[in-house]
Chain A
Amino acid sequence: MTITNKSKAVLNILWILAAAAFYWTSIPYSEARTFDPIGPHVFPQIMSGVIILCSLGNLLVIYRHSKTGTDTPETFHPGDALRMLLVLVVSGLYIWLMPAAGYLVATIFLIFLLIAVQGEVGLRVNILVSCGFALVLYLLFSKVLHILLPHGFLEFI
């Protein structure tokens, strides 16, 4: 698969939308009582303006390139993109799992799933690494750096 001009254009439209959202949100800030003559809304609005202008510039360039065909698209494999998305899903799952299951259990799951999703490593090595590294991190952060990690249902550790 390739990274198409269409997706580049979509990204630039997203920048414009995001910048416009910031601009719009900052409009009521001009009401706030402030110690400077310009107020809290001006700086974010200038930045939003820069983003919008440059995105329009980009769109123009993309349009011109699509006409002349001087673009060299970058390629990638859908399988790798899927793997990457799964890594993100597993990471999101981790945020949800950690408060309930506790740090140690959640992290063992995290590392195990991350390795499993990427493939290429055997089950035995995977279990060894995930349990071992999670334990090392737990001991390091909880016992050495004294961070209060969530216990979850394992109250005793």
Chain B
Amino acid sequence: MEFLQNIALGSSVVFTFKGLASIIAGVVAGTIGGAIPGINATMTMAILLPFTWGMDPTAAILMYVGIYCGGQYGGSIPSVLIGTPGTPSSAATVMDGYPLHLQGKTGLALGMSLYASVFGGIVSSVALMIFAIPLAKVALAFGPPEYFALALLGLTLVASLSTDVFKGLIAAALGLLLATIGLDPFAGIVRFGFGSEHLIEGFEIIPFYMGIFALSQVLYIIFKKIRREVVEYRITSKYPSTLDFIRCLPSMLMGSAIGMFVGAMPGAGASIACWLGYNEAKRWSRHPEEFGKGALEGVAAPEATNNAVTGGAMVPLLSLGIPGSGSTAVMLGVLIIHGLRPGPMLFVTNPEIPYSIFVSLFVSNVIMIFVALMLIKLLIKVVNIPETIMNACILAIIFVGAYSVNNSMFDIFTVLLFGVLGLIMKIYDYPITATALGFVLGYLVETNFRRSLTLSKGDWSVFMTNPISMVIIILSILSVAYAVYCNHFRRKRGAAE
């Protein structure tokens, strides 16, 4: 009963002019951002942060749900049309989407990717509610040691799943270290402030995200001279029929389940999930030999998977307040800059926020159909703006956006600083997501660490005497140990053989 009331509350926020307009704006922006190779949903979110300034928190977060969904779908458009994925999460779609396009079945491929995206998104929005609400109820009983352990697990998983666990750990620790700059939460001193009044509260979250997610990527595009072909949007064949849809239903269901699960795991994310979805669809198919040559299931499975990731990734974000990916980290930032901290308490103090997110994830996917069918030709015109002009315009937006946070030039400087840091990390293959997560979770990690020790009067065994935190801490140690083994010891043995 309480559930229905809350859903009604969420719907009353979403189904207003402002709510729907925010979602539509988000879906449009996300689709454009996703469809531009080199720009992903996270970067789109980072660029648009200043526009949330004047919005109320619900409208802002609804827009970000829209961007998230649109971004996952938009990536498939260039995958099909030019054989280059718009985002890493639609890389698997290229495998069968591009051959279908070459065979002249463009409409079939684009249609299927749309339907599968919407299907995966809707399934995951339902699953999000099923998992997030009970988990939040459980999490309400969590104390400082449990929260410290959970955030630690999130960070170590992200570090372990990156290409090299040492690089992952450096990136995560760097984020945590950057988060300690500013006023200390337990003593009245400013740490690492170097006497600058700009650093009293530490680095602002908006310029940090803009630098590390957006500026670094623009610099990287210029550095690597990433050029894309012109995307020509022409429907050369009919859309998929109901029969096609039913034929792909099993792969979409499987993809949705995988996407949900992988999305909920910190660190894995859509770029890994889409390949898992693709491979599973191929393995269980009755005609696996068609995969790679234009199998419709080969489009349906990864697209259902990457959109199902959205719901999965929001489970830990909403119920625990601990994001596991870049996109959800930015969404956490949007809530924080509006003075809201996601987590179990948000369900009690501001139920309209989590419940409107549940409803809006569903609505975003429905809106996506209309945006994709009606506006897509217009959106592709934006995608085809030359990268030189696009890069310059993105930088101009980032700079004015950073300035508008505090009306201060220092924030533009912050963008540049973290843009260069992010670029170096990209060039040397360090996971930026780990740094971003470390930065946004740093306060949570450190305060709960020190609070646990305060409550235990300085007894360090507090983390191990509490059963939940003990299990979680052991898991995170194991994840690092296993990753070190895989990265550095197994390889040596393989080379020796």
Contacts and interface: CB of A to CB of B under 8 A. Distances in A.
Interface of A: 3, 8, 11, 15, 19, 22, 25-26, 29, 32-40, 43-44, 47-48, 50-51, 54-55, 57-58, 61, 68, 70, 74, 76-77, 80-81, 83-84, 87-88, 91-92, 94-95, 98-99, 103, 107, 110-111, 114-115, 118-121, 125, 129-130, 133-134, 137, 141, 145-149
Given A3-B427, A36-B450, A95 B170 contact: no
A74 B424 CA distance: 14
21 contacts: A11-B428, A29-B187, A32-B184, A34-B186, A36-B187, A36-B454, A37-B458, A38-B450, A43-B180, A80-B224, A87-B222, A87-B391, A91-B399, A98-B409, A111-B393, A118-B391, A121-B386, A125-B389, A133-B393, A141-B404, A145-B50
Interface string B457-479: 11000000000000000000000
Contact of B223 (A36, A76, A121): A76
Interface residues of B, number: 60
A26 B43 CA distance: 33
A47 B223 contact: no
Contacts of A57: 166, 488
Nearest to A56: B166
The CB with the most chain A CB atoms within 10 A, among B50, B189, B222, B404, is that of B222
Main secondary structure of the interface of A (DSSP, over half): helix
B382 interface: no
Main secondary structure of the interface of B (DSSP, over half): helix
B166 A61 contact: yes
Contacts of A87: 218-219, 222, 391, 395
B222 A51 contact: no
Interface stretch (B61-69, B319-327, B412-420): B412-420
Contacts of B451: 36
A11 B430 CA distance: 11
B495 interface: yes
A56 to B, nearest CB: 9
Nearest to B457: A37
